[in-house]
Amino acid sequence: MNKKLYKLMNWPQIEEIIYSECDNPHELLGPHKSGSQTLLQAYFPEASAVKVKWKGAGVGATTEGLWKKDLEMELADEDGYFAALVPAKSLPVYSYLVTDKDGVEREYGDPYRFAPQLTKEDTEKFKNGIHYTVYEKLGAHPMEIDGCEGVLFAVWAPSAMRISVVGDFNNWDGRVHQMRRLWDSGVFELFVPGAKKGDNYKFELKLKGGITYLKADPYGNAAQLRPETASVVADLRDFKWEDADFIKNRQNFQTGNAPMSVYEVYLGSVVEPAEGKEYANYREIAPVLIDYVKKMNYTHVELMPVMEHPFDASWGYQVIGYYAPTARYGTPEDFMYFVNELHKAGIGVILDWVPAHFPRDVYGLSNFDGTCLYEHRDPRQGFHPHWGTLIYNYGRPEVSNYLIANALFWVEKFHADAIRMDAVASMLYLDYGKNDGEWVANMYGGKENLEAIEMIKHLNSVMKKRNPGVLSIAEESTAFPRVTGDLNEDGLGFDLKWNMGFMNDYLDYIKYDPYFRSHHHGELTFSMIYAYSEKFMLTFSHDEVVHGKATMVGKMPGERADKFAGLRLSYGYMMTHPGKKALFMGQDLAEFDEWNENRRIRYDLLQYPEHAGVAELVKDLNKLYQTNPALYEFDDSPVGFEWINNISADDCYLTYLRKTDKPEEILLVVANFSGVEKDITTGVPYEGKYKEILNTDAVKYGGSGVVNSRIKAAVDTEWDDRRQSVTVKLAPQSLSILQFVPYTEEELTKVIEARIRKNTPVMKTVKKPAVKKVTKKETKK
């Protein structure tokens, strides 16, 4: 090495790089001005020779023909550190021609000639927890800089001494691509020329004590299929969405009191994979799911977590790759296709999302930079004994930013229509699932997790501002107040809350033999006491049909026919009870086998009449629910529901109304929960006719055919504190829905005349709306 070049070498810093302990390699590597010349330094471990290949002309060259030939670099350190003094003020685009010890020459771009791509504004917003698109900065992002194609890698790990990105592009050698720490942000960044979509990679972290280990990318957009654990470079820019019309109409489609009937799905159970494959692809699942959902009249599908997770039996609820659709079913583009196709078919997509905890797998978030970065250090705050998982430190702005941006990511990049937040109760309470001494009180001595509550409010506020019409749904199992309350009134800001109380109480009630149900009548009706305290979604979810709990039909008591009758009654009651609806896959087919992640939905059961009948009932109930305003228009207001008889515990039946502000839209529901056939007399709100529009015991639903085929006129028999009544025949464990039909003027006149003859008081009546005759002239208009 010539003396001038030797004197320019900063040997202590060079040693830092060679020993892979440098957090600012750009200070040395790459091009740097040295008077009227440029000092170029590069580190290629174990290389025998390096030349600079010019791809243009620089400025201020003092040597003629400099740019026309490759420049041989000098070996400054035998470990592979090279340097060259270029007689020019600035350099053109260049690459390195590197000859390894075996004499093989390869061409590489210089990652150390580029300025930082993250700005101080980016890191400051992230530091304060308000960088809502931080997923576009951290992670791995293919891009072009100064005509050079490559991938920008960035990761947050403030306590690491040195971080390198390793992968297919550098033979997984942590010495090659050491990353630059950006000021005091704790973020490390590097643009790697030549890295590309599809490359596997991880981050190699070295701590001050010398411990070196690998971590998957917390912000990675794709990952290898388990049991492999590397992240995969993905490019989310290429997919062409075709769902603009659906997105435009989304607010009308699903907000407020719009009817929602949700089909909860585990994607691995929808389609039998092709021979030799473990799973079907998102693109193969989409048409099968669309066909079934449309046929069954569901409005939405809810997907159990599609985020990357290592353990199949967690069903996705122990997430490692929060920003990556699971590789089990394909690529991120494949999942985009899946959502796009459902939207084109008019089907909404709800994603289960798990911000409550994360698994301890060593390649994931746990102890990420040698410290408890994402979790609490104190196990009383940071460990879930219930699940054996770790709890996020929601009070750390960068951690809450990670989660808030993640929910926005699935909505804004993958067009999700709703986020269902899992295990909210475990986030709200510091003592959830813990014994005394296993938790730490908040600053006021209480058990509420104030940081988690603030994070939830922050997310719901930002979601509503950035994505109006997208729903935020809470799976919250306690009586925590105002879960769906307005943020301005100290509510949590969710749009809907799963009604776990309804599900638990009803399933506890219905499991009893009808003979004993009279003693548990309060469990059947209790849900209406608090029905309007929140905006609820009724659900029979996956949690209720696994781990020995039995399927929905399996929970029903009695012989086989009794079980199917009880199931049909249950679905009828759920669909006529206030609240949105959600049902787990397979339960609309009356599957007897408990669900597990290794089997498919039993579509073959449709060949059996009793199973096909249940499916037909759910299909018709979904349609009835969506086409009768009485079942949804005042869903979150007492105006829309009225008990007629909820006190006949000994007789095990209920009668109630679903209403709008138009009397002619009223529905009368009569439900027989007893084990015997009954003629149930019920008071009615208006004189007129009551026409049965659905009976769960109809033959086409697999029932015995005890229905009310003739329209029923109200009679002057006082019942249930009402002057008029009708009598409905019901089979054991069945439910009838009757539509109120007002009398025509002619019919009403005859009723009044008959009443006068009998000297009976004139009743409250509703006339059938008169139909105006339209002339030919008006038709032309």
DSSP 437-476: TSS---TTS-SB-HHHHHHHHHHHHHHHHHSTT-EEEE--
pLDDT of residue 58: 67
Instruction: With CA atoms as reference, report the closest residue to 390 among 356, 420, 422.
Output: 356
CA distance 479 to 82: 67
Whole-Å CA distances, 402 to 134, 338, 361, 440, 614: 8, 25, 19, 24, 43
Percentages helix, strand, coil for the chain (3-state, rounded to 5) are 30, 25, 45
**Is residue 458 very low, low, confident or very high in pLDDT (cuts 50, 70, 90)?**
very high
Q: In this structure, what token pair is assigned to residue 67? A: 């740019």
Whole-Å CA distances, 624 to 297, 603, 699: 10, 23, 18
Phi/psi of residue 264, each to 5°? -80, 130
pLDDT of residue 771: 46
Mark 177-199 as b/e (b = at least 16 C-beta within 10 Å): bbbbbbeebbbbbbbbbbbeeeb
pLDDT of residue 401: 98
Residue with tokens 């879930």: 384
| Percent with pLDDT over 70 in the chain | 96
| Residue 703: CA count within 13 A, CB half-sphere | 26
Rounded to 5°, the CA angle 524-526-527 comes to 95
Q: Collapse the DSSP code of 267 into the 3-class scheme (helix H, G, I; strand E, B; otherwise coil) and give the result.
A: helix
Is the distance from CB of 763 to CB of 697 less than 8 angstroms?
no
Q: Is the pLDDT of residue 764 over 70?
A: no
Residue with tokens 């069945």: 734
Pairing of strands 678-683, 725-730: antiparallel
pLDDT of residue 761: 60
Beta-bridged to residue 106, according to DSSP, are 98
Preceding amide of 609 cis, omega within 30: no
CA distance 552 to 614: 12
CA distance 575 to 584: 14
pLDDT of residue 126: 97
Q: Is the pLDDT of residue 763 over 80?
A: no
Phi/psi of residue 49, each to 5°? -160, 150
How buried is residue 79: exposed, middle or buried, by Cβ count under 10 Å (0-12/13-18/19+)?
middle
pLDDT of residue 651: 95
Instruction: With CA atoms as reference, report the closest residue to 192 among 105, 262, 112, 282.
Output: 112
CA distance 414 to 408: 10
pLDDT of residue 89: 86
Catalytic residue among 475, 616, 620, 687: 475
Q: Collapse the DSSP code of 71 into the 3-class scheme (helix H, G, I; strand E, B; otherwise coil) and give the result.
A: strand
Residue 735, sorted as left (phi over 0), alpha (psi -120 to 50) or beta, turns out to be beta
pLDDT of residue 165: 98
**Angle separating helix axes 332-344 and 282-295, nearest 10 degrees:** 20
Indicate the DSSP class of residue 775: P
Q: How far is CA 522 from the centre of its chain?
A: 34
Mean pLDDT (whole number) for 117-133: 97
Residue with tokens 């986030």: 427
| Residue 710: CA count within 13 A, CB half-sphere | 6
Is the distance from CB of 407 to CB of 353 less than 8 angstroms?
yes
pLDDT of residue 568: 98
CA distance 47 to 105: 10
Torsion of CA 388, 389, 393, 397, to 10 degrees: 180
pLDDT of residue 754: 83
The separation between the first and the last C-alpha atoms of the chain, rounded to the nearest angstrom, is 96
Q: Is the pLDDT of residue 772 over 60?
A: no
Q: Is the pLDDT of residue 769 over 60?
A: no
pLDDT of residue 203: 98
Residues 312-357 pLDDT 10s: 999 999 999 999 999 999 999 999 999 999 999 999 999 999 999 9
Residue 430, sorted as left (phi over 0), alpha (psi -120 to 50) or beta, turns out to be alpha
Q: Is the pLDDT of residue 730 over 80?
A: yes
Mean pLDDT (whole number) for 738-742: 95
Q: Kindly write down the DSSP assignment for every residue of 564-617, as one continuous string.
A: HHHHHHHHHHHHHSSSEEEEETTGGGT--SPP-TTS---GGGGGSHHHHHHHHH
How buried is residue 525: exposed, middle or buried, by Cβ count under 10 Å (0-12/13-18/19+)?
middle
Alpha helices in 103-148 (DSSP H): 120-127
**Is residue 777 very low, low, confident or very high in pLDDT (cuts 50, 70, 90)?**
very low
| Percent with pLDDT over 90 in the chain | 89
Q: Kindly write down the DSSP assignment for every residue of 79-148, as one continuous string.
A: TTEEEEEESSSB--SEEEEEE-TTS-EEEEE-GGGS--SS-HHHHHHHHTT--TTGGGTSEEEEEEETTE
**Is residue 736 very low, low, confident or very high in pLDDT (cuts 50, 70, 90)?**
very high
Residues 17-58 pLDDT 10s: 999 999 999 999 999 999 889 999 999 998 999 999 998 776
How buried is residue 560: exposed, middle or buried, by Cβ count under 10 Å (0-12/13-18/19+)?
exposed
Residues 464-500 pLDDT 10s: 999 999 999 999 999 999 999 999 999 999 999 999 9
Amino acid at 560: R
Residues 393-450 pLDDT 10s: 999 999 999 999 999 999 999 999 999 999 999 999 999 999 999 999 999 999 999 9
Q: In this structure, what token pair is assigned to residue 201? A: 């990679």
Q: Is the pLDDT of residue 774 over 50?
A: no
Residues 270-313 pLDDT 10s: 999 999 899 999 999 999 999 999 999 999 999 999 999 999 99
CA distance 595 to 544: 10
Q: Collapse the DSSP code of 427 into the 3-class scheme (helix H, G, I; strand E, B; otherwise coil) and give the result.
A: helix
CA distance 484 to 457: 11
Cβ neighbour number for residue 639 with a 10 Å cutoff:
12
CA distance 517 to 525: 12
**Is residue 90 very low, low, confident or very high in pLDDT (cuts 50, 70, 90)?**
confident
Average pLDDT, the chain: 94
Is the distance from CB of 620 to CB of 627 less than 8 angstroms?
no
How buried is residue 234: exposed, middle or buried, by Cβ count under 10 Å (0-12/13-18/19+)?
buried
Is the distance from CB of 212 to CB of 161 less than 8 angstroms?
no
pTM as predicted:
0.93
Q: Is the pLDDT of residue 729 over 90?
A: yes
Whole-Å CA distances, 247 to 133, 175, 344, 425, 573: 20, 47, 10, 31, 32
Q: Is the pLDDT of residue 779 over 50?
A: no
**Is residue 624 very low, low, confident or very high in pLDDT (cuts 50, 70, 90)?**
very high
In the residue annotation, 422 being an active-site residue is answered as yes
Q: Is the pLDDT of residue 733 over 90?
A: yes
Residues 367-377 pLDDT 10s: 999 999 999 99
Q: How far is CA 22 from the centre of its chain?
A: 39
| Residue 262: CA count within 13 A, CB half-sphere | 30
Mark 731-744 as b/e (b = at least 16 C-beta within 10 Å): bbbbbbbbbbbbbb
Beta-bridged to residue 667, according to DSSP, are 658, 739
Q: Is the pLDDT of residue 770 over 80?
A: no
CA distance 256 to 636: 9
Residues 130-185 pLDDT 10s: 999 999 999 999 999 998 999 999 999 999 999 999 999 999 999 999 999 999 99
